[in-house]
Structure 1
Amino acid sequence: MNSRRHFLQTSGVGFGWLAFQALAQAESGSPLAVKQPHFSAKAKRVIFLCMRGAPSHVDTFDHKPKLTAASGKDGRAPGTKLHGSQWKFAPQGKSGLPISELFPHLSKRADDLCLINSMHTELPAHAQSFLKLHTGNAQFVRPSLGAWALYGLGTVNENLPGFVTIAPPTLFGGAQNYGSAFLPAIYQGTRVGVDARPVVNAQMRNIVPPVGSVAQRKEIELVQALNREKLQRDQVNPEVEGAIESFELAFKMQSEMPRVMDLTKETQQTLDAYGIGEGNATDDFGRKCLLARRMVEAGVRFVEVTHSDWDHHFKISKDLPSTCESVDQPLAALLADLDSRGLLKDTLVVWSGEFGRTPHAQGADGRDHNSKGFTAWMAGGGVKGGMRYGSTDDLGYEAVEDKMHTHDFHATILHLLGLDHERLTYRYAGRDFRLTDVKGSVAKKIIA
């Protein structure tokens, strides 16, 4: 019994019903069983809010008064003109974080936010940088951040997938962004919806069994027996191993996943807080954020939520405000909801796009790609709130202080989960691979 208590204490899952379910998984040898982290974790779970298309940092979270003053002057690229932000920044919260007026709701949670103003990556191309953000590599097929987290920690609810991605894009690498690559297939993300369709219509296919549970269990046992027989013949067959594990998970999900995805159980007050309602600009993203909260509360280890309207080459004066409006209220509601339920302190919420945008104008009313400097933010999960980490130059072109590369970003997320990015490895093709390749440093200044 003492060993069980030690497991529950060191694994960071607590002592509730989910904890003892996690203990049962561990004792059964399940590949999704909770594993002890390398050291004491600040965060138990992650919600990754991915803004596909590259948000303009100088119009949202990276205040550049000198850029505004220099608006109209020549930019660094030949033939370009500097373009100051059209929107005002003001200090928010007790911390005085400067946040754009485009985020009036999120500004009220300023003291939860750690603005990382020094993000940078290699290529100003969507597909490559999007893959880099998710897998640490733009050239080769590699496991995703969510898959690595699940591989390193397991999950606490055997009836749900440990990694869920809500409305991921079909472009920019598609399934590679939530895939497991050479990790066992059970660690890949489970997709809910796609980015081109409203999430209200998203369903888990084949979640309702066509026959009774007893008959279905017999069918599965027959199929699993055949799979195990093939695996015994082949000795090594990752696809068959993945099928065996996924069939078992799918059978268990039938009882719990529909309940988790059923937003009708929420109060009207909660739905209103997230901006959910027919005709609301915030309805779709509000539903995604509320689903994310319900999933982490039910024991899902890693949830990604994608929003896809940030590629503002043109008409930024019209399109950026509407894009920000669609996410602002849901983002604030998610942080407040997690906080009220006691979940924010050990849930790491991450917000980022694949890169930023130029301080100079593109055409009359837009901004081009910029990978040398952009902003992400984190909240909860052991991160210091109400602070700015790092900075870009006075005009916002490139990161110059406490620079955070994508590899550093990943190393820091894993560290907050209690995982040493240099020790979290998997042997494949004769070498040990890791998410951060041979790079990455933890940004210890942002850790509470």
Structure 2
Amino acid sequence: MGHHHHEPKEKPSLKVNRRHFFSQLSIGIGSLALGSLLIPDLFKGPSNEAKALGLGVRHFAPKAKRIIYLFQAGAPSQLETFDHKPTLRKRMGEDLPESIRNGQRLTGMTANQDKFPLMPPKIGFQQHGQSGTWISDFFPYTAKIADEITVIRSMHTEAINHDPAITFFQTGSQISGRPCMGSWLSYGLGSENKNLPSFVVLTSRGKGNSQGLYAKLWSSGFLDSKHQGVLLRSGKDPVLYLNDPEGLSRSDKRHLLDHVSSLNKLHHVETGDDEIESRIAQYEMAYRMQMSVPDVMDISKEPEHIIKLYGEDCQVPGTYAANALQARRLAENGVRFIQLYHQGWDQHGNLHEEMSGQAKDVDQASAALVLDLKQRGMLEDTLVIWGGEFGRGNYCQGKFNPDNYGRDHHPRAFSIWMAGGGIKPGLNYGQTDEFGYNVVENPVHINDFHATLLHTMGLDHEQLIYKYQGRRFRLTDVAGHVVKDILA
């Protein structure tokens, strides 16, 4: 092929790779197609280095070492959980005043209603703890930890449908494709345990109306693929395709990996593609996880009092209670970000019955997790979060029916709770109007929520940056303020 000119060997950019590639293969559509098959990431664009942050560098002393996020997918109603509104009882069946609704965008499910009859919850509310936190009778176990949790009643978002709303919560954008929070934390802080991923996802499903969950919610987006969440499934194969085929010994596997690795390294020298190094690292991680994951997932060693604390369900793989106990075991083993999703909170009808079941699924185990972490001295550096993607409306969806009512999506105001990890305990933060419809005090936007989470982990959300396609990206995009009032 004759002599060809090489650029200096610093870090070959894609241009060099292409030139090199084309000089090796006769140029033509066939070779282009072949190239893209052989090296799938060939035309992806130059690799990115973090311009602002070295891995594992915190901007200030962290309060939290890890986060366990108990995500209630489908959006539990704030009016049946933590936002007590006696006015709804007094004015049951009356039309929601237009001055309160104020022309708010509605979903297709209620946009055609001419009346918005106010509907109080059928469940009772009591005050609990020294903090006097109002908690509905659906959550007797959470009520017992009222003084450990901070309830934020002033969350709000722009998204009005599930998919953009849950994507917004996980990635800071309603549009798919951005890295999720767990990936940002993995990127910013690296891993604590080389035998386990720094970011793990567990899912469970209640009997209520379920929305889909998609892998994009734990995707690393444009960050290196080693930062994506690893989904652990219930049952005998927690990670798909992790086990070796029959007859392959551990030493055979090691031998195979070493050979594959040396081939990949040669390939990396030729192409300069950073994803190849990622792939090598992923193979190595999978090899180590073959030993570490079954061990962490084996709850047979847990003592009886812990099983009692989380409830009998924690012995049934795939339940929320089992996942909550797994979350504590993963946290103990150095996993930085553990995301639980519990589906079934989308109550457009039959709300009282369905929410009763959903609350039973999660109430005892959520409280148990906080108490368990506390008794181990881990709550102070573990941030636990409980909440969904938006709230629910204070009026009946469809015709007024106090016996069987549902609530439509409501992005303007909803409640979540947080505990441990540098958050003040026993606080009630933010307030909605007497109808539970609009935030009237201390609003907290999703960008603020993300800024605060990163802050507890010792990261400045304005400095955790990744340059991609000529733009500097952050989890909080171009917004977000740390909610200092809730920090211990």
> Into which bin does the TM-score normalised by the smaller protein fall?
0.7 to 0.9
Give the corresponding residue for 2:229. 189
The reply on whether 1:439 has 2:479 as its aligned counterpart is yes
Q: TM-score, normalised by structure 2?
A: 0.81
Does the 8 A contact of 1:391 with 1:402 survive in 2? yes
Instruction: Indicate which of 445, 451, 466 corresponds to 1:405.
Output: 445
Letter in 1 for 2:328: R
Letter in 2 for 1:421: H
Within 2, Cα distance between the matches of 1:304 and 1:278? 17
Kindly report which structure 2 residues correspond to 1:137-216, keeping only aligned pairs within 5 A, or say none. Answer: 137-167=173-203, 174-193=214-233, 199-200=234-235, 203-210=238-245, 211-216=248-253
> Between the two proteins, what is the percent identity of the paired residues?
41
Give the corresponding residue for 1:109. 145
The reply on whether 1:35 has 2:42 as its aligned counterpart is no
Gapped runs of 5+ residues in structure 1? 1-32, 194-198
Instruction: Indicate which of 96, 101, 118 corresponds to 1:82.
Output: 118
Does the 8 A contact of 1:49 with 1:304 survive in 2? yes
Task: Report which of the two structures shows the higher radius of gyration computed on alpha carbons.
Answer: 2
**Offset of residue 171 of structure 1:** 6.4
Give the corresponding residue for 2:108. none
The reply on whether 1:324 has 2:359 as its aligned counterpart is yes
Give the corresponding residue for 2:426. 386
Within 1, Cα distance between the matches of 2:176 and 2:348? 28
Gapped runs of 5+ residues in structure 2? 1-53, 102-113
Give the corresponding residue for 2:302. 266
Comparing 344-353 and 221-230, the one that deviates more: 221-230
Instruction: Indicate which of 40, 57, 62 corresponds to 2:83.
Output: 62
Give the corresponding residue for 1:22. none
Letter in 1 for 2:450: H
Three-state SS of the structure 1 residue aligned to 2:140 is: coil
Give the corresponding residue for 1:72. 93
Within 2, Cα distance between the matches of 1:47 and 1:246? 23
The reply on whether 1:53 has 2:74 as its aligned counterpart is yes
The reply on whether 1:306 has 2:341 as its aligned counterpart is yes
Instruction: Indicate which of 132, 136, 139 corresponds to 1:96.
Output: 132
Within 1, Cα distance between the matches of 2:55 and 2:141? 36
The reply on whether 1:296 has 2:317 as its aligned counterpart is no
Does the 8 A contact of 1:136 with 1:435 survive in 2? yes
Three-state SS of the structure 2 residue aligned to 1:84 is: coil
Three-state SS of the structure 1 residue aligned to 2:394 is: strand
Within 2, Cα distance between the matches of 1:120 and 1:180? 25
Does the 8 A contact of 1:276 with 1:283 survive in 2? no
Letter in 1 for 2:417: W
Closer/same/farther in 2, CA of residues 233 and 172 from structure 1, 3 Å limit: farther
Within 2, Cα distance between the matches of 1:120 and 1:166? 26
Comparing 264-273 and 145-154, the one that deviates more: 264-273
Does the 8 A contact of 1:118 with 1:401 survive in 2? yes
**Offset of residue 88 of structure 1:** 1.5
**Offset of residue 139 of structure 1:** 1.9
Letter in 2 for 1:132: F
The reply on whether 1:123 has 2:123 as its aligned counterpart is no
The reply on whether 1:220 has 2:257 as its aligned counterpart is yes
Q: Would you identify which runs of 4 or more consecutive aligned residues in structure 1 move more than 6 Å?
A: 168-171
Within 1, Cα distance between the matches of 2:297 and 2:315? 21
RMSD: 2.0
Give the corresponding residue for 1:284. 319
Comparing 412-421 and 207-216, the one that deviates more: 207-216
Closer/same/farther in 2, CA of residues 437 and 361 from structure 1, 3 Å limit: same
Instruction: Indicate which of 225, 231, 234 corresponds to 2:271.
Output: 234
Q: Deviations over 1:208-229 (max 9, x none)?
A: 4342222211100111111122
Comparing 149-158 and 207-216, the one that deviates more: 207-216
Within 1, Cα distance between the matches of 2:89 and 2:187? 46
Closer/same/farther in 2, CA of residues 205 and 190 from structure 1, 3 Å limit: same
Instruction: Indicate which of 396, 399, 410 corresponds to 1:370.
Output: 410
Does the 8 A contact of 2:307 with 2:315 survive in 1? no
**Offset of residue 74 of structure 1:** 0.4
**Offset of residue 176 of structure 1:** 1.2
Closer/same/farther in 2, CA of residues 148 and 65 from structure 1, 3 Å limit: same
Does the 8 A contact of 2:162 with 2:211 survive in 1? no
